[in-house]
Amino acid sequence: MAWFWHLAILLGALTVCSVYGGELTFELPDNERQCFHEIIGEKIKCTLEFQVIQGGNYDVDMELTGPAGQILYKDVKKQYDSFTWTTDVAGDYKFCFSNEFSTYTHKVVYFDFQVGDEEPLDKELGEHATAMTQMEAAAVTIHEALKVVIDYQTHHRLRESQGRGFAEDLNDRVQLWSIGESCVILLVGIGQILILRSFFTDKRHNTSIST
């Protein structure tokens, strides 16, 4: 039964083994700026990836600053980007998204913030006197494959959301254009009817008979 307990520990680690940080999708109103904070130790590798999935031209300003206020990353009107760095000192790191340049369009922004490297899954099993069994190795392989699947699912989910938002916006524009065209056609038809009626209307002229 030893293999059963090893497998149980390994499968349990699938749900608890993760890096710090996280991912979030939030709404960024027009003329506003939102910031997020993360306390990170020294000499830790971090990755910040963001993407605008709805709103306007799908762009946003982004700025990342360190504990001393130094700017680590800054860009304006960016649709998508990924930035990786290693912390020099421990402290509070802040990254802000700004939509202050937009006067009426709100945005929906997604970001994925990863802090540190994920430890190998086989460490959850403790020290091995022998090599991993075939079942344990298969579980590790499945775990790595599932991480790749999750990344692909996240990517395609964002693309689908962005495409749906673009299609809905295009549909609204087409409907407004169709309504405008219908009104113009109606006005032109009424004008043509009035003009044609004026051509066939009898005009009576008053004539005077002199005696």
Q: Higher pLDDT residue, 101 or 143?
A: 101
According to CATH, what is the number of the domain 2-164? 2.60.120.380
Residue 195 CA, distance from chain mean position: 55
Q: pLDDT tens-digit profile of 123-178? A: 555 555 566 677 877 877 887 788 788 877 877 877 787 777 778 888 888 999 99
Q: How far apart are CA 123 and CA 132, in angstroms?
A: 11
pLDDT over 60 at 23, yes or no: yes
pLDDT over 90 at 73, yes or no: yes
Q: How confident is the model at residue 16 (pLDDT cuts 50, 70, 90)?
A: very low
Q: How far apart are CA 65 and CA 179, in angstroms?
A: 49
Return the pLDDT at 204.
55
Q: How far apart are CA 159 and CA 133, in angstroms?
A: 40
Q: How confident is the model at residue 55 (pLDDT cuts 50, 70, 90)?
A: confident
Return the pLDDT at 155.
78
Give the predicted TM-score (pTM) of the model: 0.62
Average pLDDT, stretch 79-102?
91
Q: How confident is the model at residue 184 (pLDDT cuts 50, 70, 90)?
A: very high
Return the pLDDT at 124.
55
Domain boundaries, the chain: 2-164
Q: Higher pLDDT residue, 132 or 190?
A: 190
pLDDT over 80 at 193, yes or no: yes
Give the angle 192-193-194 at the CA atoms, nearest 5°: 90
Return the pLDDT at 123.
59
Return the pLDDT at 18.
38
Q: Is the dihedral of CA 176, 182, 183, 185 positive or negative?
A: positive
Q: Higher pLDDT residue, 158 or 206?
A: 158
